[in-house]
């Protein structure tokens, strides 16, 4: 008769199973024993514990899936397993086929959306787990919503395919095992002891196989978390369901396991009282009433404390929380002498913490065992490979090609490509304005060759060496190497990809004769610090390739384009994970994967609102209302909203035997306070609200707590001069107002910008807008490196419009004729590649120019154009202004000067941009051009007295709101304001004051510092 033993968490249930196995084997050393555990992680843990207890040779440790395979083999009915990549492909093919035949309409739009096929797979898996056959499902949904009909069609087609091909998925193997057991009464009869432990739920197939086996094994022992005395404990909610399911299927009554808690007193007390009604429910302001005794209270929140128990720690954000948790882990290893395998870090959802834990563990020198694998596409070697393979599929995009040429994951020596070739390719592509496209790349090489010939003929220096020719040759040989076969089978494409990846030098004695490809594995092995991780990822990538070939042979070979093959490969990689080689280390896992395991010390992280308990969501394909309706029609579909989070938290918190650290971030990503999770509050109350450790950025770390060299240096402030400078720089940069030598206070520039220097209005305006922008653009003379784009940019637009207006007003030709002449030569003259919209853009620009000419004529009634593109300085007399910086010399071109009937002058400056220009901009010293030009017309060029002026917005066909004649105090006041600013700007520049000052409306995109400026402010 099978026995079901119940005991709360931490009472040694696994230990009991191991003792029972040892006892049986002591009497009959070769007796067949089978132990069933929920998953492979627990299987590994179980084997380890058995080995540690003296070894139990010959015991078969299974999950249900491996047990099904074993039973089918013993019954001589082995059946190939449909592995996941093939299953996903099969479902894709079925959905595509049904969509083409018009039998799927509701879900047709979702068929290529990420996650849809995986959701279908999960639904089918659930239907099979609950032993609902396609025909039963089809009958139950008759008359229901069309979307359920479409799911039913996919399920039937999937199941038919499996049966026709004689394949099975894991659930199908479960069904077949049950049938094999039913039809073969001797199967499993030899089992001396069958044990089951670590589960918190059982599905109908598992129960069916288990009840058949349990009745044949001589002895069956099942352990489950529970409490006979308190069967309805909220913390045991999920276990109670499992207990009822076992009792119904196996017809057994639970017994209390005779054992004591193995947990430290504080954790044991928490285990007993967690979520118990009436315990530690505080009324705000009252002393907590708790059964926790003094000796069970949490230790001080001091990593040096050696008292076992529960600690609480809050940190500002996830990275700080991960650092604090890892420091605690290191203290357990160093101070408490715990082995790496004795410690675990658990979180409800691993993803948000994975990168921080990885990075900080590396800094602290703590090896980790991450459970559940890492997303394959995030591995740098695989990401580089996908980028490489995307080149022919996406027609050679510039940025991707440059990254591939610079990637350390490829050996390009056969193509003679190194860093200098990559840099020159970058130059060539910028000059040729290549975004993508093989033909554009080739045009760019031709352009480059021509420009090099011209430089040689007319340049001052010697003709440049023919590096461009070398790069072109390297480019062409790289294109040849990456030329995929055309329209062929997946198998052929996979061979092409494998050839590119190249052999693993660790496995191949002699290099392949068939081309070396790019030696990706050898390159990955070249860096010892990442080699293990990257080689594991590349192996997983090859498994994905094999999965695609297997899927093709299973589904029938068809030809496809390389683009389609690449899309398939990308999708398969996105769905895949990989695990670096198993090693001894601190286990890091989601709470779900750690169920059933136990450790001496556990750090349970992420206990803030919304993280744990996690919000339960209904299934998107089989909604809760569907489930209710289908249950009424006899299908045993359970709700997805079980409310199991409390049980999961109970399981997580009781994984710790001696020490439990609970941590949480107290600020959300947007900087708002983040409330604690109710589970955190619950344990905190149960422990009589002990002090919570808080890690704040401003706190100095005690050097004794430093867990890495970096932390120790920071704590002791034992910095060398470079680090000292770095710290001072950071402190200066996080102050709200910029100032000081690390904030743009430079050096004396009196000589460079002395009295002989001639200024342009735009440079002075640049200083007025942001001194640091002036420094970067005009002192360092850095230019923004823009990505080449087809079509013209704002600067080209401004030049074209200025040119057209200048020629129209000066030449007597019709506007349309002038515009067409300028447009015809614009791509060559201004160096841009027209887009297909260029024709339409010309029409639109001409229309706007006609409007602007009309509107300008309106506001110029009575005025006569006197001068166009009038130059001052640069060979002509400069404007010299008397300012507080002394005489300041200025130069520039005045777009237009008109004479009024009374003989006074009006100055106009054209603007192609639409940004508003108001009197405020002049008052702030950011717009100085107009008053400078007005004074230049009057004083430097001697054209007469200026009485007004404005900026003219060409595309808006209107004047700016800033008009010199309307400035407060009149045009003289406008001149005085400008002179005041010019003097202050020049004094500031000469003294080297270049503090960043982001404009209130945000930093302009043309500022060359936008990509690195620490004060950058996004525009509205």
Q: Interface residues with ligand SF4 (CB under 6 A)?
A: 770, 772-773, 996, 998, 1003, 1007, 1009-1010, 1013, 1015-1016
Residue 802 CB, shortest distance to ligand SF4, in Å, is 25
Please state at what angle helix 116-129 crosses helix 84-100, rounded to 10 degrees.
Answer: 110
Question: In the complex, what is the shortest distance from the CB of residue 730 to ligand SF4, in angstroms, rounded to a whole number?
Answer: 17
Question: Cβ closer to ligand SF4: 732 or 1013?
Answer: 1013
CB of 438 to ligand SF4, least distance (A): 37
**Shortest distance (Å) from residue 911 CB to ligand SF4:** 19
Smallest distance, Å, CB 932 to ligand SF4?
A: 22
| 448 vs 772 by CB, closer to ligand SF4 | 772
Q: Whose CA is closest to 68, among 166, 162, 178?
A: 178
| CB 1010, min distance to ligand SF4, A | 5
- Which residues, 6 or more positions from 939, have their beta carbon under 8 angstroms from its beta carbon? 879
Sign of CA dihedral 256, 260, 261, 262: negative
- Distance from C-alpha of 398 to C-alpha of 392, rounded to nearest angstrom: 12
What whole-number distance in Å separates Cα of residue 109 and Cα of residue 112? 7
Cα 178–182–185 angle (5° rounding)?
A: 125
DSSP assignment string, 535-570: HHHHHHHHHHHHHHHHHHHHH----B-HHHHHHHHH
- Name the residue nearer to ligand SF4 (CB basis): 167 or 772: 772
Of 475 and 994, CB closest to ligand SF4? 994
Measured from the CB of residue 739, what is the shortest distance to ligand SF4 in angstroms? 14
Query: How many C-beta neighbours within 10 Å does residue 123 have?
Result: 17
Task: Name the pairing type of β-strands 368-370 and 586-590.
Answer: parallel
Comparison of 484 and 992: residue with beta carbon closer to ligand SF4: 992
Q: How would you label 594-620 residue by residue, b for 16+ Cβ within 10 Å and e otherwise?
A: bbbbbbbbbbbbbbbeebbbeeeeebe
Phi-psi region of 920 (alpha: psi -120 to 50; beta: other; left: phi over 0): alpha
Q: Which is nearer to ligand SF4, 458 or 1020 (CB)?
A: 1020
Q: How many CB atoms lie within 10 A of CB 763?
A: 18
CB of 1020 to ligand SF4, least distance (A): 14
CA gap 909, 463 in Å, rounded: 42
Between 623 and 1015, whose beta carbon lies closer to ligand SF4?
1015
Query: Which of 717, 741 has the CB closer to ligand SF4?
Result: 741
Closest CA to 988 of 795, 815, 785, 772: 772
Shortest CB 1017 distance to ligand SF4, Å: 6
Closest distance to ligand SF4 from the beta carbon of 747 (Å):
18
Of the two residues 770 and 890, which places its CB atom closer to ligand SF4 in the complex?
770
Helix, strand, or coil here: 587?
strand
Nearer to ligand SF4, 85 or 744 (CB): 744
Element of type H or E holding 160: helix 146-165
| CA dist list (Å): 266 to 336, 583, 606, 660, 791 | 18, 32, 21, 9, 70
Triad 518, 519, 523: Cα angle to 5°: 115
Least Å distance, CB 966 to ligand SF4, is 29
Instruction: Please answer whether residues 11 and 260 qualify as being in contact, where contact means their C-beta atoms are separated by less than 8 angstroms.
Output: yes
Measured from the CB atom, the residue of 387 and 928 that comes closer to ligand SF4 is 928
- Tell me which DSSP letter residue 588 carries: E
Kindly tell me which of 389 and 989 has the beta carbon lying closer to ligand SF4: 989
Give the nearer residue to ligand SF4 in terms of CB position, either 71 or 770: 770
Q: Are 46 and 37 in contact (CB under 8 A)?
A: yes
Closest approach of Cβ 995 to ligand SF4, in Å? 9
Q: How far is the CB of 721 from ligand SF4 (least distance, A)?
A: 27
Q: Which is nearer to ligand SF4, 963 or 1015 (CB)?
A: 1015
* C-alpha 687 chain-centroid distance: 38
SS3 category, 409:
coil
DSSP code for 780: S
Q: Is beta strand 864-872 parallel, antiparallel or unpaired with respect to 879-883?
A: unpaired
- What lies within 8 Å, CB to CB, of 543 at 6+ separation is 576
Residue identified by tokens 């520049």 is 989
Strand partners, 171: none
Which of 755, 780 has the CB closer to ligand SF4? 780
Residue that the structure tokens 């591939």 belong to = 404
**Nearest approach, Cβ of residue 1011 and ligand SF4 (Å):** 9
Q: How far is the CB of 998 from ligand SF4 (least distance, A)?
A: 4
Give the C-alpha separation, 104 to 154, whole Å.
9
Choose between 956 and 1015: whose C-beta lies nearer to ligand SF4: 1015
Minimum CB–partner distance for residue 926 and ligand SF4 (Å)? 11
Using alpha carbons, list the distances in angstroms from residue 861 to 684, 807, 814, 894, 905.
82, 20, 20, 20, 14
Taking the complex as a whole, the smallest distance from the CB of residue 997 to ligand SF4 amounts, in Å, to 6
* Beta carbon of residue 924, minimum distance to ligand SF4 (angstroms, whole number): 14
Q: Determine contact, residues 118/88, Cβ cutoff 8 Å.
A: yes
Pairing of strands 599-605, 254-256: unpaired
How many other CB atoms are found less than 10 A from the CB of residue 407? Answer: 20
Q: Which is nearer to ligand SF4, 753 or 994 (CB)?
A: 994
Task: Pick between residue 669 and residue 786 the one whose CB is nearest to ligand SF4.
Answer: 786
Burial track 136-172 (b if 16+ CB lie within 10 A, e otherwise): ebeebbeeeeebbbbbbbbbbbbbebbeeeebbbbbb
Classify strands 864-872 and 886-899 as parallel, antiparallel or unpaired.
Answer: antiparallel
């Amino acid at each position: 008769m099978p026995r079901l033993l119940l005991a709360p968490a931490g009472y040694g249930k696994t230990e009991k199973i191991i003792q029972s196995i040892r006892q049986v084997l002591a009497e009959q050393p070769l007796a067949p024993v089978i132990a069933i555990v929920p998953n492979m992680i627990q299987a590994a843990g179980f084997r380890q514990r058995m080995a540690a207890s003296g070894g139990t040779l010959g015991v078969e440790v299974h999950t249900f899936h491996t047990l099904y395979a074993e039973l089918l083999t013993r019954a001589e009915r082995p059946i190939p397993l449909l592995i996941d990549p093939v299953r996903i492909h099969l479902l894709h093919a079925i959905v595509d086929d049904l969509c083409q035949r018009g039998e799927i309409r509701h879900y047709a739009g979702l068929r290529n959306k990420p996650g849809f096929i995986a959701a279908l797979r999960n639904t089918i898996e659930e239907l099979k787990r609950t032993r609902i056959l396609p025909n039963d499902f089809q009958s139950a949904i008759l008359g229901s919503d069309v979307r359920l009909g479409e799911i039913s069609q996919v399920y039937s087609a999937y199941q038919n395919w499996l049966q026709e091909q004689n394949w099975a998925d894991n659930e199908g193997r479960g069904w077949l095992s049950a049938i094999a057991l039913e039809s073969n009464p001797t199967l499993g009869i030899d089992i001396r002891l069958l044990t089951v432990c670590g589960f918190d739920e059982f599905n109908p197939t598992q129960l069916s196989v288990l009840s058949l086996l349990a009745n044949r094994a001589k002895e069956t022992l099942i352990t489950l978390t529970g409490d006979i005395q308190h069967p309805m404990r909220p913390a045991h909610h999920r276990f109670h369901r499992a207990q009822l399911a076992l009792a119904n299927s196996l017809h057994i009554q639970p017994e209390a396991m005779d054992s004591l808690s193995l947990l430290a007193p504080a954790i044991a007390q928490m285990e007993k009282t967690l979520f118990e009604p009436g315990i530690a429910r505080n009324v705000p302001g009252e002393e907590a009433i708790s059964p926790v005794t003094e000796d069970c209270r949490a230790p001080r929140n001091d990593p040096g404390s050696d008292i076992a128990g529960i600690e609480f720690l809050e940190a500002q954000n996830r990275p700080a929380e991960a650092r604090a948790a890892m420091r605690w882990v290191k203290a357990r290893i160093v101070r408490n002498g715990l082995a790496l395998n004795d410690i675990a870090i658990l979180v409800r959802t691993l993803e948000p913490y994975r990168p921080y834990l990885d990075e900080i563990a590396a800094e602290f020198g703590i090896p980790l065992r991450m459970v559940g694998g890492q997303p394959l596409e995030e591995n740098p070697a695989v990401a580089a490979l996908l980028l490489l393979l995307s080149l022919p599929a996406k027609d050679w995009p510039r940025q991707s090609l440059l990254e591939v040429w610079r990637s350390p994951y490829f050996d390009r020596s056969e193509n003679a490509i190194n860093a200098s070739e990559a840099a020159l390719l970058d130059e060539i592509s910028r000059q040729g304005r290549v975004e993508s496209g093989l033909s554009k790349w080739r045009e760019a090489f031709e352009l480059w060759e021509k420009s090099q010939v011209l430089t040689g003929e007319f340049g001052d220096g010697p003709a440049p060496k023919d590096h461009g020719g070398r790069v072109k040759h390297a480019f062409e040989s790289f294109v040849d190497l990456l030329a995929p076969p055309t329209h062929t089978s997946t198998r052929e494409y996979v061979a092409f990809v494998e050839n590119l990846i190249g052999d693993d030098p660790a496995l191949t004695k002699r290099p392949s004769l068939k081309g070396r490809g790019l030696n990706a594995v050898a390159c990955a092995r070249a860096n010892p610090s990442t080699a293990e991780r990257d080689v594991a990822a590349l192996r997983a990538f090859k498994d994905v390739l094999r999965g695609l070939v297997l899927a093709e042979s299973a589904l029938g070979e068809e030809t496809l384009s390389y683009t389609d093959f690449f899309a398939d490969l990308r999708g398969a990689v996105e769905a895949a994970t990989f695990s670096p080689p198993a090693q001894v280390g601190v286990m890091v896992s989601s709470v779900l994967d750690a169920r059933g395991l136990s450790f001496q010390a556990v750090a349970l992280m992420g206990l803030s609102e919304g993280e744990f308990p996690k919000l339960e969501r209904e299934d998107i394909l089989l909604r809760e209302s569907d489930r209710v309706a289908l249950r009424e029609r006899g299908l045993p579909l359970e709700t997805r909203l079980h409310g199991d989070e409390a049980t999961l938290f109970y399981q997580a918190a009781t994984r710790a035997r001696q020490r439990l650290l609970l941590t949480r971030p107290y600020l959300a990503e947007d900087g708002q306070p983040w409330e604690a999770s109710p589970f955190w509050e619950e344990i905190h109350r149960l422990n009589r609200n002990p002090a919570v450790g808080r890690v704040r950025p401003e706190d100095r770390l005690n050097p004794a707590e430093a867990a890495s060299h970096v932390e120790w240096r920071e704590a002791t402030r034992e910095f060398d001069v470079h680090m000292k400078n770095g710290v001072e720089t950071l402190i200066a940069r996080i102050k709200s107002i910029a100032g000081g030598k690390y904030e743009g206070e430079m050096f004396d520039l009196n000589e460079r910008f002395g009295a002989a220097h001639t200024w342009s209005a735009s440079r002075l305006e640049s200083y007025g807008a942001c001194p640091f922008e002036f420094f970067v653009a005009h002192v360092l003379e850095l230019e923004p490196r823009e990505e080449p784009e087809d079509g013209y940019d704002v600067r080209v637009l401004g030049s074209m419009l200025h040119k057209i207006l200048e020629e129209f007003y000066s030449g007597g030709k019709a506007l349309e004729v002038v515009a067409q002449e300028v447009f015809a030569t614009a791509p060559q003259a201004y160096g841009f590649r027209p887009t297909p919209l260029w024709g339409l853009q010309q029409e639109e620009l001409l229309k706007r120019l006609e409007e602007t000419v009309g509107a300008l004529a309106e506001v110029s009634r009575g005025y006569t154009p006197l001068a166009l593109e009038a130059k001052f300085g640069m060979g002509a007399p400069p404007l010299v202004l008397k300012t507080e910086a002394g005489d300041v010399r200025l130069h520039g071109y005045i777009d237009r000067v008109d004479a009024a009937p009374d003989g006074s002058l009006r100055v106009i400056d054209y603007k192609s941009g639409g940004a508003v220009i108001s009197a405020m901009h002049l008052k702030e010293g950011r717009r100085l051009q107009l008053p400078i030009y007005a004074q230049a017309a009057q004083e430097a060029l001697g054209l007469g007295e200026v009485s007004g002026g404005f900026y003219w917005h060409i595309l808006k066909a209107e004047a700016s709101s800033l008009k010199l004649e309307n400035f407060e105090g009149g045009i003289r006041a406008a001149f005085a304001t400008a002179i005041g600013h010019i003097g202050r700007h020049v004094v500031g520049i000469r003294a080297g004051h270049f503090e960043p000052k982001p404009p209130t409306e945000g930093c302009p995109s043309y500022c060359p510092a936008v990509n690195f400026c620490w004060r950058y402010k996004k525009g509205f």
